Chain A
Amino acid sequence: MTALIEIEGLTKRFGGFTAVDGVSFTVARGEVVGFLGPNGAGKSTTMRMLAGFMLPSAGTARICGEDVVERPVAAKRHLGFLPEGAPTYPEMAVEDFLRFCARIRGVGRAEVARAMALTQLEGVRLQPIETLSKGFKRRVGLAQSLLHDPPVLVLDEPTDGLDPNQKHEVRALIREMAPQKAIIISTHILEEVGALCTRAIIIARGRVLADATPAELVADGRSMDEVFRELTMRDAA
């Protein structure tokens, strides 16, 4: 297995507050890592550093061997990133928005059509994004991250705000893509981890508390919920 994502001692300090504290892990092709943690645990900050939106205070990360600090543009080419809240330009039509991203990524209309097909956006392709429901907006963000068929996907809460059917579809899509890619998803929905992920990483207060398969985490018969509470509450105490 080749590691497509390598994170080494990644640390982020905001003033005196350490949001991410020496996080290290690797993700290989074929893995879907569920990134879990309470709000404010440092999930989004870790993902933002990985995506090159924030500079780490210490440590580094590599995407397909490209260092995100030293060679940010090269690293970003291999990455599909869905930022938290799936931000998009509200006044743009779905297709125009995706074409804009495609143009920057240097891919053509065929890829835009493919990404829209994968995320079932064809029906709304000419609608301004601001008129769409939350679920559609999230899928536009997801489509944007899939445009260039990247080997590495980093999705910050991809199923947040989706209805149960849409959640199911997004999970099916991720599962389908999984064998060719290294994927990190952050989520609050613990059942998603069992259903989707090959590995779970639990973080709280910026530190990795657990890094195991979902099966290993619940090996002693407890539910994922209990394991999560136990790990993250103990740390807070």
Chain B
Amino acid sequence: MLAVARREFAAYFATPVATVFIVIFLVMSGTLTFTVGGFFARGQADLLPFFNFVPWLFLFLVPALTMRLWAEERRLGTVELLLTLPITAGQAVVGKFLAAWAFCAVALALTFPLVITVNYLGEPDNGVILTGYLGCLMVAGAYLAVGAAISAMTRNQVIAFVLAVAGCFLFAAAGSTIVTEFLSTNLPWLAEVARGLSVAERFAGFARGVIAARDVVFFASFIAVWLLLNAAILEHRKAD
């Protein structure tokens, strides 16, 4: 499992994927924080403007990472090699997921100048910043798990990307006021479900500095369910 993760992680850096992803992520998160987020204008020493944008950036950057995970293996035929090595489909799934997750962690860690800036300018609550980062990592993990499972369904990377963005958007927007208001007037029972499944809703807690057990459990089970689905898709494709 770790061998799979190691190879996958190295593969990001062997291709321009890593550079492009990290540079775009840093440029966009930085720009949005200082312009739209009004980092200075708010006059508060925290990273809330940054944390507000990260889930939305991940919404289309993370599927760019996951689209190749399985779709490319299938296109190259290496999936036949990987799945005939003595590992289970589950181990391969978790290995790939861990590599992509670690890669997101690296990208997030490289936003450290923001932390330094805000500490230089004021006296922020670094505990809140830490939980914010943890929340970002959780959101990344959730999107990765969705994207990886979708990637396993197709050999076409573009399809994998578009469907993954759509899938992640569903879980990101599920808790937004527009959706919940619409649902509560039309389908009240679904409104609660949608709010419950909302990744953004769960993330908000982390950004405020609260690590609620139920949120952690939510992310853990969300990731687990999608990884199980991913393994099931691989097993199913063996059968036909």
Query: In the complex, which residues of chain A have a beta carbon less than 8 angstroms from the beta carbon of B3?
Result: 100, 103-104
A51-B84, A100-B3, A104-B3 known; A90+B76 contact, CB < 8 A: yes
A48-B80, A87-B76, A89-B76 known; A54+B87 contact, CB < 8 A: no
- B84 touching A73 by the CB < 8 A rule? no
- B77 touching A76 by the CB < 8 A rule? no
- For the side of the interface on A, what is the size category? 20 to 34
Residues of B in contact, count (CB < 8 Å): 22
- B77 touching A87 by the CB < 8 A rule? yes
Cα(A81)–Cα(B240), bound, Å: 20
A189, chain B: closest CB distance, angstroms: 22
Q: Is A65 part of the contact surface with B, judged by Cβ < 8 Å?
A: no
Query: In the complex, which residues of chain B have a beta carbon less than 8 angstroms from the beta carbon of A34?
Result: none
Cα(A104)–Cα(B83), bound, Å: 11
A103-B3, A104-B4 known; A88+B78 contact, CB < 8 A: yes
Q: Is B81 part of the contact surface with A, judged by Cβ < 8 Å?
A: yes
- A83 touching B86 by the CB < 8 A rule? no
- B14 touching A83 by the CB < 8 A rule? no
Cα(A162)–Cα(B240), bound, Å: 32
Q: Which of A73, A85, A92, A103 contacts B14 (CB 8 A)?
A: A92
Q: Which of B7, B15, B83, B85 contacts A105 (CB 8 A)?
A: B85
- A87 touching B78 by the CB < 8 A rule? yes
Q: Is B119 part of the contact surface with A, judged by Cβ < 8 Å?
A: no
- B78 touching A91 by the CB < 8 A rule? no
Query: In the complex, which residues of chain A have a beta carbon less than 8 angstroms from the beta carbon of B83?
Result: 52-53
B217, chain A: closest CB distance, angstroms: 31
A94, chain B: closest CB distance, angstroms: 13
B77, chain A: closest CB distance, angstroms: 4
Q: What residue in chain A is nearest B238 (Cβ atoms)?
A: A55
Q: Which of A14, A53, A77, A79 contacts B238 (CB 8 A)?
A: A53
A116, chain B: closest CB distance, angstroms: 17
Q: Is B11 part of the contact surface with A, judged by Cβ < 8 Å?
A: yes
Q: What residue in chain B is nearest A49 (Cβ atoms)?
A: B238
A45, chain B: closest CB distance, angstroms: 12
A53-B80, A83-B77, A89-B76 known; A76+B85 contact, CB < 8 A: yes
Residue among B6, B15, B84 with most chain A CB within 10 A? B84
Query: In the complex, which residues of chain B have a beta carbon less than 8 angstroms from the beta carbon of A83?
Result: 77, 80-81, 84
A81-B84, A83-B77, A83-B80 known; A91+B14 contact, CB < 8 A: yes
Q: Is A232 part of the contact surface with B, judged by Cβ < 8 Å?
A: no
Contact mask for chain B residues 224-240; partner A; CB cutoff 8 A; 1 contact, 0 none: 00000000000000111
B8, chain A: closest CB distance, angstroms: 10
Query: In the complex, which residues of chain B have a beta carbon less than 8 angstroms from the beta carbon of A177?
Result: none
Q: Is B31 part of the contact surface with A, judged by Cβ < 8 Å?
A: no
Q: What residue in chain B is nearest A82 (Cβ atoms)?
A: B81
Cα(A196)–Cα(B27), bound, Å: 60
- B81 touching A88 by the CB < 8 A rule? yes
Query: In the complex, which residues of chain B have a beta carbon less than 8 angstroms from the beta carbon of A81?
Result: 81, 84
Query: In the complex, which residues of chain A have a beta carbon less than 8 angstroms from the beta carbon of B76?
Result: 87, 89-90
Q: Which of A14, A48, A88, A101 contacts B85 (CB 8 A)?
A: A101
Query: In the complex, which residues of chain B have a beta carbon less than 8 angstroms from the beta carbon of A92?
Result: 7, 10-11, 14
Q: Is A159 part of the contact surface with B, judged by Cβ < 8 Å?
A: no
Known: A53-B80, A73-B87, A100-B6. 8 other contacts (CB 8 A): A53-B83, A76-B85, A77-B86, A81-B81, A81-B84, A88-B81, A89-B11, A89-B76
Q: Which 10 A-B pairs have the closest CB atoms?
A: A87-B77, A103-B3, A76-B86, A83-B80, A51-B84, A91-B14, A55-B239, A77-B86, A87-B78, A100-B7
